[in-house]
Amino acid sequence: MDRKALLADIDTVVIKIGTSSITKGDGVSSDFMDSVAEQVKKLRDSGKKVLIVTSGAIGIGLQAMHATPKPREVPIRQAAASVGQSILMQKWNDSFQKNDLVIAQILLTLDFYSDREKYLNLRNAIQTLLEHGVVPIFNENDAICVKEIDAMFGDNDTLSAYVSSKMDADLLVILSDVDGLYDKDPKLYTDAKLISTISEINESVFSMAGGTVSRVGTGGMKTKLRAAEICKEAGCNMMIVNSSISNVIIKAVTGEDVGTIFVTNTKERKKSRWIKAAHPSGTLIVDDGGAKALQKHVSLLAVGVKGVIGNFDRGDVVAIECNGKVIAKGIPDYDSIEISKIKGLHSDKIADVLGHKDYNDVIRSENIVIM
């Protein structure tokens, strides 16, 4: 398989960083974090959007508190998370500032992907951060999410897959303390072979996975395979690479032969498929100018909307029609009543009419599918 060709059109990358990669020995590795920031800077300069999912808060907090909890002792781990999270983000901020990059902290709970309203608001906030060149850094809110510690997301492997899925990422790169997936445990078998490419995740692949290998991390190879399943369904490729390799993020994204890549066969994004297949809750009638704009894959502005049919809420799927023909579907950022009031107007008039303006666009380009 030609990795360079497969990853040639990468636009959005999610990087998941494990606890063992951040904490070296008895403390945080500033050199490692600086290296991550430098590589993210290079990716940003090449035009790519980058999001980070970081572990490490509990491990760092335990070190700061000089505490050694029992494996399932939740209160001390919650306390450690609250202590460690601020230290962790300060370290990330220091590293990214050296590269003239601004970061944003986003703490997630389990309902971020199941509550539609919260998801839409979060997605819009993240899109705005990316548009302004900010690097979002995600972590679980372990201080309040008892069930999530060690149980639900698994050291953020699964969380990073959900972030990749919901943000329509092209590639998830999981930085770990192993080179990738081997056909058997390399610590037990000297003849174990690293698997470069996996196209199907089946029982045979899961049988190759061992358990958790890190003292402070909770995510073993099986959680990474579950993450790969989520990514595959979402049309996102995933890689497991060793964080100790120099410039491994750049090497992974540019298609060098490092780690294990899990290849998706889904050519069309899950969200695009969903929009295209969804029954529309209403219809927007656009003029010829609006139709031409859509064909160029740009956003739909209020000035291009001639009419509104039906009642729908922000976040519903609507059909977009021109001259009696449905030319596209999309997810609007205003409801039917609001669009009826602002149709045909220039964007600078929206606030005057509605009393607020959340977006210049009625539907942003990333939420439009051409039929």
Q: What would the pLDDT profile of 166-198 be if each residue is shown by its tens digit?
A: 888 999 999 998 899 998 888 788 888 999 999
Q: Of the spans 34-48, 255-269, 355-369, which averages the highest pLDDT?
A: 34-48
Confidence category of residue 251, pLDDT binned at 50, 70, 90: very high
Confidence category of residue 71, pLDDT binned at 50, 70, 90: low
Q: Determine the pLDDT at residue 148.
A: 46
Residues whose CB falls within 8 Å of the CB of residue 9, separated by 6 or more in sequence, listed in order: 170
Q: Residue 173 forms beta bridges with which residues?
A: 15, 239
Chain centre distance of CA 341: 34
Question: What DSSP state is assigned to residue 367?
Answer: G
- Report the distance separating Cα 107 and Cα 85, nearest Å: 10
Q: Determine the pLDDT at residue 312.
A: 94
More confident residue, 371 or 326: 326
Q: Determine the pLDDT at residue 215.
A: 41
Confidence category of residue 66, pLDDT binned at 50, 70, 90: confident
Residues whose CB falls within 8 Å of the CB of residue 29, separated by 6 or more in sequence, listed in order: 21, 22, 23
Please determine, for residue 216, whether its predicted confidence score (pLDDT) is greater than 50. Answer: no
Q: Determine the pLDDT at residue 322.
A: 93
Domain(s) labelled CATH 2.30.130.10 in the chain stretch across: 272-370
Q: Determine the pLDDT at residue 68.
A: 79
Q: Determine the pLDDT at residue 218.
A: 42
- Report the distance separating Cα 105 and Cα 221, nearest Å: 27
Confidence category of residue 340, pLDDT binned at 50, 70, 90: very high
Q: Determine the pLDDT at residue 212.
A: 43
Confidence category of residue 56, pLDDT binned at 50, 70, 90: confident
**What does residue 239 show for φ and ψ, rounded to 5 degrees?**
-130, 145
Q: How many residues does the chain have?
A: 371
More confident residue, 264 or 35: 35
Q: What would the pLDDT profile of 315-330 be if each residue is shown by its tens digit?
A: 899 999 999 999 999 9
Q: Determine the pLDDT at residue 233.
A: 79
Confidence category of residue 205, pLDDT binned at 50, 70, 90: confident
* Mean pLDDT, residues 301-305 taken together: 93
Domain 3-267 part of CATH 3.40.1160.10: yes
Judge whether 294 and 327 are in contact, CB under 8 Å. yes
Architecture of the domain defined by 272-370: Roll (2.30)
Q: What would the pLDDT profile of 20-31 be if each residue is shown by its tens digit?
A: 888 876 678 899
* Mean pLDDT, residues 209-236 taken together: 72
Confidence category of residue 149, pLDDT binned at 50, 70, 90: very low
Confidence category of residue 155, pLDDT binned at 50, 70, 90: low
* Mean pLDDT, residues 126-155 taken together: 73
Q: Determine the pLDDT at residue 63.
A: 84
* Mean pLDDT, residues 248-259 taken together: 95
Q: Determine the pLDDT at residue 307.
A: 94
Domain(s) labelled CATH 3.40.1160.10 in the chain stretch across: 3-267
Q: What average pLDDT does the structure give for the chain?
A: 86
More confident residue, 16 or 58: 16
More confident residue, 54 or 118: 54
The string of DSSP letters for 320-335 reads EEETTEEEEEE--SS-
Please determine, for residue 142, whether its predicted confidence score (pLDDT) is greater than 90. Answer: no
b/e for 322-338, b at 16 or more Cβ within 10 A? beeeebbbbbbbbbbeb
